[in-house]
């Protein structure tokens, strides 16, 4: 039984790492159980329907999670940008005009290096 639970997780993704359709997963699971448990056609149909319902619910939850994560990431990005803007305003008050210009150049260089290193 434990092996079946782990095999369903493996079935959820195809070789390219994309999630399979709930219908395809339910069909594979039902066929596998039919073979392993000698299910009759009625049992196989019920197992398929149950697995399909379960798969659709899981897919819905995954989609909800992705949407929430995207909203959180966007919100966090906006807040981080505001923090950086506030920091720059304060730095401008502290530094001379020449120092602030040099400071901005340093920030640009750091951003460029960060992006360059991030692409590796």
| pLDDT range class, residue 12, cuts 50, 70, 90 | low
Which tens digits make up the pLDDT trace of 75-119?
A: 999 999 999 999 999 999 999 999 999 999 999 999 899 888 877
Bridge partners, residue 19, by sequence: 13
Which tens digits make up the pLDDT trace of 52-63?
A: 999 999 999 999
Contact 14, 7 (CB under 8 A): no
| pLDDT range class, residue 14, cuts 50, 70, 90 | low
- Secondary structure element (H or E) that encloses residue 34, with its range: helix 22-37
Q: pTM higher than 0.85 for the full model?
A: no
Q: Where are the domains of the chain?
A: 2-118
């Amino acid at each position: 039984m434990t092996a079946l639970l782990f095999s369903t997780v493996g079935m959820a993704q195809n070789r390219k790492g994309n999630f399979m359709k709930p219908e395809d997963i339910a069909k594979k699971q039902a066929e596998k159980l039919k073979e392993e448990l000698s299910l009759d056609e009625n049992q196989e149909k019920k197992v398929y329907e149950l697995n399909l319902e379960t798969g659709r619910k899981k897919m819905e939850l995954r989609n909800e999670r992705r949407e929430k994560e995207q909203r959180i990431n966007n919100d966090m990005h906006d807040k981080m940008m505001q923090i950086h803007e506030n920091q720059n305003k304060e730095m401008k008050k502290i530094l001379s005009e020449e120092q602030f210009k040099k400071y901005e150049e340093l920030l640009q260089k750091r951003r460029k290096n960060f992006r360059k290193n991030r692409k590796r």
